Structure 1
Amino acid sequence: MSYTRGVFQSFKSQSKHRYLGDLSGAFADLGTFLPIVIGVLTLQKVDPTGLLIGFGLFALVVAAVYRRPIPIQPMKVVAAIVITQSLDAQTIAATGFLLGFTVVLISLFGVLDLLARKIPTPVMTGIQLGVGLMLAWAGIGLVITDPWTGIVSTGILFLLLATPLKPFAAVAIVIGACLWSLSTTQNSLTDLSLALHTPDWTTFGWPQLGLSAQTILLPQLSLTLTNAILATAAIAGHYFPKDKQRISPTRLGLTTGAMNMLLAPFGAFPMCHGAGGLVVQHRFGARSWLAPVLFGITMITLGVLFGPQALQILLLIPLAAVGALLIYAGLDLAWHKSLTSSPHLDLSVILLTGICCATLNVAVGLLIGWGWFLLGRSLFPNKNRTE
């Protein structure tokens, strides 16, 4: 009886630890989510209800399909062009539909799985290095927007990580920073009112599709295929080796494409998965479907109950505090055992790929690293290397 009780208590302890980790990890990658969403919503050309509900529904689908913390993030190239060129809601919807349709076609033809099999291991390790460096650099950029909050948050984060409170370090930082922001700024929540909001139906035609194809399709597609699909699948395979078949490049491509096509007319912003988001969520404890479910329910609640007022709530979250999470998770991913144990040729591929990914973009880093790998193999065919 005592043995059974001990096993039961151990199971309860492990379950509690896992749930805390999923709660903490679910919101750990807000540093890549908030700046883009806030920037887009500030333009007041996108329906906040449709945008937030879109993220929420996609997250719930991810939870059901993958049963792992596969993140949902706004497409970065689309966001940059939308913000700088102030594109309207019709063009944004057309972009989401066109990108989704293109990614579905590429996935159905098996191109993504073929690429994943052909890319050499040192190149994929280099991409992980580059993604880690990009995360850390993005975190530093957020921290310096409010150095005092950023430095204090970083210090508290590292203290929490060294204690039994580690499983919910990320959520503790976010909640604590929000409370601090609420007490020190003029952003008050007293004027918020609850109401039921529904997404605006957004129509688009050939002019919007043509503009999207000319200005957005190719640069965003290259980033989506490499960082959001290939790199995400590789990192997921490292974290969850038993789920490699379920979290394959083709399946990631199909969920990305199908959900963008379905949700674009409802005002959703173009979305994708993300290697960086997976790293941050996993590093702060997310392991199961619960993390995307928590994120999804939160987004749907904000969209349905608060609508346009949701921006006021999002502005409460200090980006400098979230930056601390990105720095830690980025450096953790960047440091890989291959950096100290690889043969010289492989190490040069890893470093070159990582630096190019971090300073240029993942697609360029992939091509340069792969080219250097092939060149090294032809020049030094007898050297030890990883295939």
Structure 2
Amino acid sequence: MNRVPGGPVAGWRQRLAGAGGGVLGDVSGAFGDLGTFLPYVIVAIGAGLLSPAPVFAGFAVGYLLVAIVYRLPVAVQPMKAVGAVILAGGLSGGEVAWAGAMLGAILLALAASPLLLRAARVIPQSVVTGLQAGLGLVLLAVAARLMGGDWLLAVPALALLSLTWVWPRGPFALALVVVAIAFGPSLGAPLDMSLVGAAPNGHAASPWNAFVSGVLPQLPLTLLNAVVVAAAVARTLYGPGARRVSERRLAATSGALNLVLAPFGAMPMCHGAGGIAGHHRFGARSLAAPLLLALLCALAALSGDTVPALLARIPASLVGALLAYAAVDLLASRRLVDARPDCRPVIAVAALATWGLGALAGLAAGLAAEAVRVRIRRGGAGSATLTQENGK
């Protein structure tokens, strides 16, 4: 067994130094996923849907686990599908806990099974993409309600955030949040919970609603984007250094985090492929980045009323701009752009059904449309074969 010269202390120093990123790169890269992290967390906490202490404590534990298990900047993100349903008013606080715990149990069971990769492919990619796009539309509707009170403030914010398409490394989301907190009260009206459409926390939590509205739309996205694609992205970016980042291990750590922490108020979390790419793009290369994020989230969890007070300063229109940014991230996925022409009607059917009728309807409509697509394709292939045989 090879040992790092100088003993274990020198070994940890070498790992912290990273492979080319250095300390400054890891500090910069630690904030590379804020565009995904901030909108969901700010709205959920600012609107009173979730309590800040357990939410930030959950992410602190998540990033600490990442540093210990993977020793790389593997992202810990809010689950996008569950987050979209929360912000659209589809889940109460108790139902969020149920959804997170159920997703955690399912992911742990799949991680212990050799059928994990097969399960990730049960739902066709066209239907998964349609569900994701539909949830993006749901989120965009919430964002429009929030921005509607002050478009004069929202439009410049959207213009600032759109610069990420020109300079992906720019910390535009962080800059917007800092400005909003510093000057919020003088810029516009604060976040109004009624604009979000949040589900009341007073009614009894329904495990069935948690499963239908939270688990069903999230599970295929997690298996595809936060397990299969995330492992592939990590291997591409970090090469042999990503030997610990396997599909089964990603499912296991996501499952454990949600099963243990969601019942205590943490936001459902996963390891998104886009977040891994974001951390890397901004310079993160070692476990220093997740350790820094774990520390910052722990401090936020221990801050008492400080974080809610700061978030309350952000005008509703700027929260809407951040949420629109997250919605576009869901809508403009690579899988949508790269989809085959015959898959796009399936994506559209699933997306529109999800937007208008909910995730369960979107899943059912998407599967039905995919069955029709496959039948038409096979019929066309059979006709082509018959024509060739008749022409001989």
Structure 2 counterpart of 1:175: 178
Structure 1 counterpart of 2:270: 273
Cα contact 2:132–2:221 (8 A) shared by 1: no
Residue 315 of structure 1 and its aligned partner are, at CA, apart by: 1.9
Structure 2 counterpart of 1:50: 54
Structure 1 counterpart of 2:342: 345
Name the CA shift for 1:79/1:135 in 2 (closer, same or farther; >3 Å): closer
User: How far apart are the structure 2 equivalents of 1:83 and 1:350?
Assistant: 22
The RMSD of aligned alpha carbons is 4.6
Q: Of 294, 307, 310, which residue of structure 2 is paired with 1:310?
A: 307
Residue 181 of structure 1 and its aligned partner are, at CA, apart by: 0.7
Cα contact 1:101–1:261 (8 A) shared by 2: yes
Q: Which runs of 5+ in 1 are unaligned?
A: 1-10, 188-209
Structure 2 counterpart of 1:301: 299
How big is each residue's C-alpha offset from its partner over 1:214-257, in whole Å with a ceiling of 9 and x where there is no partner?
45345422133122333433553675563798666543432232
Name the CA shift for 1:14/1:376 in 2 (closer, same or farther; >3 Å): farther
Residue type at the aligned position of 1:36: A
Residue type at the aligned position of 1:229: L
Cα contact 2:96–2:214 (8 A) shared by 1: no
User: How far apart are the structure 1 equivalents of 2:89 and 2:96?
Assistant: 8
Residue 319 of structure 1 and its aligned partner are, at CA, apart by: 0.6
Structure 2 counterpart of 1:71: 76
Residue 48 of structure 1 and its aligned partner are, at CA, apart by: 4.1
Write the mapping of 1:1-387 to structure 2, written as runs, cut at 5 A.
20-40=28-48, 48-66=52-70, 67-73=72-78, 75-76=82-83, 79=86, 87=94, 96-120=100-124, 122-123=126-127, 126=130, 129-130=133-134, 139-158=143-162, 162=166, 166-181=169-184, 183-184=186-187, 213-233=207-227, 235-236=229-230, 239-240=233-234, 242=236, 250-264=248-262, 267-273=264-270, 278=275, 285=282, 292-304=290-302, 306-317=303-314, 318-323=318-323, 325-326=325-326, 329-330=329-330, 332-333=332-333, 336-338=336-338, 342=340, 344-356=341-353, 358-359=355-356, 360-361=358-359, 363-364=363-364, 367-368=367-368, 370-381=370-381
TM-score, normalised relative to structure 1 = 0.66
Residue 302 of structure 1 and its aligned partner are, at CA, apart by: 1.4
Residue-pair matches, total: 340
Q: Which runs of 5+ in 2 are unaligned?
A: 1-18, 191-203, 385-392
How much identity, in percent, do the aligned residues show? 20
Residue 325 of structure 1 and its aligned partner are, at CA, apart by: 3.0
Cα contact 2:254–2:269 (8 A) shared by 1: yes
Residue 104 of structure 1 and its aligned partner are, at CA, apart by: 2.0
User: How far apart are the structure 2 equivalents of 1:139 and 1:213?
Assistant: 27
TM-score, normalised relative to structure 2 = 0.65
Cα contact 1:77–1:216 (8 A) shared by 2: no
User: How far apart are the structure 2 equivalents of 1:383 and 1:168?
Assistant: 54
User: How far apart are the structure 2 equivalents of 1:170 and 1:314?
Assistant: 14
Name the CA shift for 1:365/1:34 in 2 (closer, same or farther; >3 Å): farther
